[in-house]
Structure 1
Amino acid sequence: MTRRVGRPLILAALVAATVVFVYPFVWLVSASFKPRGEVFDNRLVPETFTLDNYVQVWREVPMAQWLGNTTLVTVLAGITVTLSSAAVAWGFAYFRFRGRGLLFGLVLATMMLPGAVTLIPTYLIWKELGFVGTLTPLWAGNLFGSAFYIFLIRQFFLGLPRELFEAAQLDGAGNWTIFRAIALPLARPALVLTLLFETQAAWTDLMRPLIYVQDTDKFTVPRGLKALLDQYGFGGEWHWEIVVTASVIATLPMILLFFAGQRHFVQGIATTGSKG
């Protein structure tokens, strides 16, 4: 009896939570098809349906170039952080050396540092290297891995049978071959999860483009949306239909990515071990 009563309550709670999370995006999509005067009328079905906003966005701003810049940065950031984090994680998981636990603890301790603490030193490094004003600082830092992803992938590596690697070593396989041909394929769920996480983070990153990019032709989508908000939103022109339409265009790729990688996302979360 309790189970019969509890199941509808749980289902109702899930439906309510879904509505709360989905409503803002539904409203955003609806507003993108409305003329300027009806953007904030709170109707989910537009009274006056128009596609002019989408045409106007592509005319007013270099949206295609912003999407291209963001795609480039996102792909490079995702691939570099996945591979570099996997290499470091493999070192901590497979090799036994003095001070390994202390060194791994120091890596994890970097997650405790607020991002604001390293903003100025990082900026000075990129300025000294001559990369300020380019897209390089938006992704090249991932060449050195990420503490969170290192921890995530290391836990997965620890869950793999060590005997498999020892057998490959007895057959003459070197450390690089074991890592590339055995460890990486077996760790695919964790690697895909890392790639999805970083793709979402890089696509929506606004802070670094605000700091390092000044030229409009090098804007990423979040930086471009900030410029649109300044010009057409709070900047005085009040063309909110342009802002919401550009927001829809910027959001759709992440939604498609989520649906495409949902199975890998769930599998990566479920199979990432907790062995220490």
Structure 2
Amino acid sequence: MSSVSAPKFYETKKFKDKVKYTFVTFVLIAGSMLILLPLWWMISTSLKSPAEIAQYPPTFFPKEFHFNNYIEAWQTAPFTRWALNTLFLASVGTIGSVLVNSLVAYGFAKIHFKGRNPLFILVLSTMLIPGFVTMVPQYILFSKLGWVNTYLPLLVPAFLGSAFFIFLLRQFMLGIPNELMEAAVLDGAGHLQIWWHIMLPLTKPALITVAIFSFNGAWNDLLGPLLYINDESMYTLQIGLQTFKGTVQTQWHYLMAMSVTVLLPVIFLFFFFQKYFIEGSNLSSGTKG
């Protein structure tokens, strides 16, 4: 009888899986390093002296750590005031975005009315309109309303809803059993009570996702404040960063130090709510009608 020879190790499924795992791991690590490289360069530059920044070839690690760059950069301009302005805009805009978008999403997910689906498609179609197309009409409208050099053009749009946030919250709400609504209706609850007492608590992961996106967008917004804010006392941090960019020379050590400072709140916010963010982004639960 002829014996069947055992396959060689490099032909086995175990070996192939190991090679595949090693390759995928290497690609992910390499990709992560490429993504983190600009962040590290920003941090490294923020700790260098102007002379070391200008030297060639550039140094990847600072020869001396100049932590005083952060203090000096903060003191060159009223950054405390600008930070409070930015925090106010981001906080109020986030609250408005969460409340309005969740209320509209509740209507599309749980209230049956004639033309609901076509109207929802119409709302989604607004995502196809580039923001630059509406920029000039918006400015003309806000200018005629006398809102230029106020925070209203930056806050009011947050209370008017976002197609993407409405879609995300609606998909999440579709996964909530209708029996909960029916039980609340039997107890005499109206739609606003159902939305506030049932939907909002059950959609907390999705709400946190919307809040993170909204806060991050408002915190990092440069174009909006640049268009509508003229008073220096009303500047935001993103406009404040431009003070380090001169017509002849840019103070890179101060600019990078303040850029790191501005970036830290967003990073901490994401890592603190990372669990809810991932759960809220997973819309596989939104499959029920």
Aligned to 2:280: 268
Aligned to 2:25: 11
Aligned equivalents of 2:277 and 2:103: distance in 1? 21
Instruction: Tell me whether 1:26 sits opposite 2:40 in the alignment.
Output: yes
Aligned equivalents of 2:35 and 2:82: distance in 1? 27
Report the alpha carbon displacement of residue 208 of structure 1 after superposing the two structures with TM: 0.6
Q: Which moved more, 1:111-120 or 1:37-46?
A: 37-46
Residue identity matched to 2:99: L
Residue identity matched to 1:77: G
Aligned to 1:207: 223
Report the alpha carbon displacement of residue 137 of structure 1 after superposing the two structures with TM: 1.4
Aligned equivalents of 1:201 and 1:266: distance in 2? 18
Aligned equivalents of 1:199 and 1:180: distance in 2? 22
Aligned to 1:172: 188
Instruction: Tell me whether 1:109 sits opposite 2:121 in the alignment.
Output: no
Aligned to 1:73: 89
Instruction: Tell me whether 1:251 sits opposite 2:267 in the alignment.
Output: no
Report the alpha carbon displacement of residue 228 of structure 1 after superposing the two structures with TM: 2.7
Aligned to 1:52: 68
Aligned to 1:37: 51
Given that 2:221 and 2:238 are in contact with CA atoms closer than 8 Å, whether structure 1 keeps it comes out as: yes
Report the alpha carbon displacement of residue 272 of structure 1 after superposing the two structures with TM: 5.6
Q: Which moved more, 1:58-67 or 1:148-157?
A: 58-67
Instruction: Tell me whether 1:163 sits opposite 2:179 in the alignment.
Output: yes
Aligned equivalents of 1:60 and 1:7: distance in 2? 50
The structure that has the greater radius of gyration is 2
Aligned equivalents of 2:94 and 2:54: distance in 1? 37
Aligned equivalents of 1:134 and 1:228: distance in 2? 24
Structure 2 unaligned blocks of 5 or more: 1-14
Deviations 1:194-249 (A, max 9, x none): 001111111111111111011221111111223432x2xxx213322121111111
Report the alpha carbon displacement of residue 6 of structure 1 after superposing the two structures with TM: 1.1
Aligned residues: 272
RMSD: 1.5
1:120 aligned counterpart, secondary structure:
helix
Given that 2:172 and 2:206 are in contact with CA atoms closer than 8 Å, whether structure 1 keeps it comes out as: yes
Residue identity matched to 2:24: I
Residue identity matched to 1:53: N
Given that 2:46 and 2:252 are in contact with CA atoms closer than 8 Å, whether structure 1 keeps it comes out as: no
| Structure 2 length-normalised TM | 0.89
Instruction: Tell me whether 1:190 sits opposite 2:190 in the alignment.
Output: no
Structure 1 unaligned blocks of 5 or more: none
Report the alpha carbon displacement of residue 274 of structure 1 after superposing the two structures with TM: 4.6
